[in-house]
Amino acid sequence: MNQEKHFSDEFLNAFVDNQIAAEEKSRAYVEIGQDEALNRQVCELRKLHDLVQLAYREPPAPPARAASGTNSRQARLRFGVAASVLLTLGIFLGSQIRMPATAPSVTAVPVPAAATQQMAKAVPPAKPARTKPAAAADATDHVATLQPTAVVPAAEPAAVPAPVIARNEIPDNTATKVLIHLARDDIDQLSQALDDIESTLKHYRETRQNARVEVVVNGKGLELVRTDTSAFAGRIQRLQREYDNLTFAACQNTIERLAREQGIIVRLLPGVITIDSGMAEIMRRQNQGWTYLQV
Partner 1 sequence: MDLLDFFLRSREAERALEQARARLYRVAYAWCHNAALADDLVQETLTKALRKSSQLRDPKARDAWLFTILANCYRDHFRKQRDMDDIDEIEISHETTPESETSSAEIVSMVRAAIARLPQGQRQVVTLVDLEGFSYVEVAQILDVPIGTIMSRLCRARNAMKDILLPAMQQNPMLNRAIRRIK
The smaller minimum CB distance to partner 1, of residues 237 and 274, is found at 274
Beta strands (DSSP E) in the chain are 176-182, 211-217, 246-251, 273-275, 291-294
| Interaction of residue 59 with partner 1, rule CB under 8 A | yes
Q: Which 3 state secondary structure label does DSSP give 226?
A: strand
| Interaction of residue 77 with partner 1, rule CB under 8 A | no
| Interaction of residue 93 with partner 1, rule CB under 8 A | yes
Mark the segment that binds partner 1 (CB under 8 A) among 81-89, 131-139, 145-153, 192-200.
Answer: 81-89
Are residues 155 and 108 in contact, defined by beta-carbon separation less than 8 angstroms?
yes
| Interaction of residue 89 with partner 1, rule CB under 8 A | yes
| Interaction of residue 260 with partner 1, rule CB under 8 A | yes
Query: Which of 4, 9, 196, 242 touches partner 1 (CB under 8 A)?
Result: 9
DSSP state of 210: -
Compute φ and ψ for 118, nearest 5 degrees: -60, -40
- CA end-to-end distance (rounded Å), the chain: 26
Are residues 193 and 248 in contact, defined by beta-carbon separation less than 8 angstroms?
no
The smaller minimum CB distance to partner 1, of residues 223 and 245, is found at 223
| Interaction of residue 36 with partner 1, rule CB under 8 A | no
Compute φ and ψ for 119, nearest 5 degrees: -65, -45
Cα 100 to chain center, whole Å? 38
| Interaction of residue 259 with partner 1, rule CB under 8 A | no
Residues of this chain that interact with partner 1 (CB under 8 A) are 9-10, 13-14, 17, 19, 44-45, 47-49, 51-56, 59-63, 65, 71, 74-75, 78, 82, 85-86, 89, 93, 184, 219-220, 253, 260-263, 276-277, 279-280, 283-284, 287
